[in-house]
Amino acid sequence: MTKFSLVEFSIRRPRWVLALVGLLTLLFLTQFPKIRIDTNPKHMLPETSDVRMWNDEVDKTFALYEDTIVVGVANDRGVLNRDTLGRIARITEAIVALRGVASRDVNSFTTITNVTAGDGMLKVGPLMPVAPKSDVEVDALGKALFDNPLFIDRIIAKDGRTTAIYVPLEQGANGAEIADRIRAIVAKEEGPERYYIAGDPVARDTFGAEMFKLMAIFSPIAGGIMFAAIQFMFRNLALSAAMMGVSMVAIMWSMGLLIGLGFPVHIMSSMAPVFLMAIATDSIHIFNEFYFRYRKHGDKLAAIRATMAAVSRPVRFTALATAAGFAVLLFMNIIPVKVFGGLIAFGTVVLRLLSFSFIPAVLTFLREDKLVGKAEDASLDRTARLLGGLGAFGAKRPALVVAVIMALLAISIWGTTRIHVNNNLVAWFKDGSEIRVADTAMNQALGGTSLGYVVVDAGKAEFMKRPEAMRWIEGLQRQIEALPVVGKTFSVVDYVKRINRVLHDDEARFDVVPETADTIGQYLFLFSMSAKPADLDNVIDPGFAKANLWVQMKTWDADAMRQVHAAVQSYHKANPLPVTAKPAGIAYFNLVWNEEVLGDLVFGFSLALVVVFVILALDFRSFKWALVAYVPLLFTILFIYGVVGFAGKDFDMPLSVMSTLSLGMAVDFAIHFVSRFRQRRAEVSRGETPLASLAWTAARPGKGIVRNAVLFAAAFSVMMAAPLTPYVAVGAFIVSMMLISALLTLLLLPALVMLFRRWLLDEPRGDTQ
Partner 1 sequence: MKRWLLVAMAALLPFTAFALTGEEVMKKSQAAFLYPGKDFKARVVMKLIARDGQERVREMTMLRKNMGEAGGEQKYFMYFFQPADVKDMTFMTYKYPAKDDDRWLFIPAINMVKRIAAQDKRSSFVGSDFTYEDVSGRDIEDDGHAIEREEKLAGTDCFVVKSTPRAADADFGHKLTWVGKESFLPLKEEQYDRKGVPYKLFTAEETRQVKGFPTVVRRVMKNLQTGHRTEVSYLRADYDLGIEDSLFSERFLRQAPRKWVD
Which of 58, 337, 402, 531 contacts partner 1 by CB under 8 A?
A: 531
Q: Of these, 19, 26, 53, 122, which contacts partner 1 (CB under 8 A)? A: 122
Residue 723 in the binding site for partner 1 (CB under 8 A): no
Per CB under 8 A, the segment of 96-104, 154-162, 441-449, 578-586 that binds partner 1 is 96-104
Residue 71's closest CA among 108, 40, 44, 122?
Answer: 108
Q: How far is the CB of 516 from partner 1 (least distance, A)?
A: 6
CB of 533 to partner 1, least distance (A): 5
171/379 with CB nearer partner 1: 171
114: DSSP letter: E
Q: How far apart are CA 42 and CA 336, in angstroms?
A: 11
User: Under the criterion CB under 8 A, does residue 522 sit at the interface with partner 1?
Assistant: yes
Query: In 430-585, where does DSSP find H-type helix?
Result: 434-445, 467-481, 492-503, 517-530, 533-537, 558-574
Q: Does 509 bind partner 1 (CB under 8 A)?
A: no
Report in angstroms how near the CB of residue 151 gets to partner 1 at its nearest.
18
**Taking a C-beta distance cutoff of 8 angstroms, is the pair 493, 477 a contact?**
yes
State the minimum distance, in angstroms, from the CB of residue 99 to partner 1.
6
462 binds partner 1 (CB under 8 A): yes
Identify the residue among 36, 46, 76, 129 touching partner 1 (CB under 8 A): 129
Class of residue 86 by CB neighbours under 10 A (exposed 0-12, middle 13-18, buried 19+): middle
125 binds partner 1 (CB under 8 A): yes
Candidates 81-89, 257-265, 305-313, 510-518; binding stretch for partner 1 (CB under 8 A): 510-518
Alpha-carbon torsion (414, 418, 421, 423), positive or negative:
negative
- Closest by CA to 613, choosing from 249, 276, 320, 287, is 320
CA distances from 544 to 256, 300, 453, 584 (A): 52, 84, 17, 18
Among 409, 526, 684, 761, indicate the residue that binds partner 1 (CB under 8 A): 526
Q: How far is the CB of 328 from partner 1 (least distance, A)?
A: 41
Q: Shortest CA distance to 727 belongs to which of 709, 711, 710, 715? A: 715
If one asks whether residue 106 binds partner 1 (CB under 8 A), the answer comes out as: no
Nearer to partner 1, 63 or 441 (CB): 63
CA-to-CA distance for 730 and 707, rounded, in angstroms? 21
Q: Is 518 in the site for partner 1 (CB under 8 A)?
A: yes
Taking CB under 8 A as the rule, does residue 103 contact partner 1? yes
Site for partner 1 in 402-441 (CB under 8 A): none
Closer residue to partner 1, CB minimum distance, 29 or 97: 97
Q: Answer for the pair 556, 537: CB distance below 8 angstroms, yes or no.
A: no
With CB under 8 A as the contact rule, the residue among 533, 570, 580, 602 that binds partner 1 is 533
Residues of span 474-503 touching partner 1 by CB under 8 A: 503
The one-letter code for the residue type at 429 is: F
Interface pick for partner 1 out of 532, 562, 678, 703 (rule CB under 8 A): 532
**Given candidates 440, 528, 563, 717, which one binds partner 1 under the rule CB under 8 A?**
528
Pick the stretch among 160-168, 306-314, 512-520, 553-561 that binds partner 1 (CB under 8 A). Answer: 512-520
Task: List the one residue from 169, 252, 536, 587 that touches partner 1 (CB under 8 A).
Answer: 536
* 488-496, 516-524, 551-559, 606-614 -> range binding partner 1 (CB under 8 A): 516-524
As a whole number of angstroms, the distance between CA 695 and CA 758 comes to 18
620-651: b (≥16 Cβ within 10 Å) or e: bebeebbbbbbbbbbbbbbbbbbbbbeeebbb
Rounded to whole angstroms, how far apart are CA atoms 638 and 659?
10
Binding to partner 1 by residue 94, rule CB under 8 A? no
Q: Which of 676, 1, 674, 12 is nearest to 310 (CA)?
A: 676
* Residue 121 touching partner 1 (CB under 8 A): yes
What is the end-to-end Cα distance of the chain in Å, rounded? 22
Q: Are 75 and 88 in contact (CB under 8 A)?
A: no
Residues 675, 321: contact at Cβ < 8 Å? no
521 part of the interface to partner 1, by CB under 8 A = yes
Contact region with partner 1 (CB under 8 A), list: 139-147, 282-290, 514-522, 677-685: 514-522
Q: Name the residues that contact partner 1, by CB under 8 A.
A: 60, 63, 96-97, 99, 103, 120-126, 129, 462, 465, 503, 514, 516-519, 521-523, 525-526, 528-533, 536, 542-543
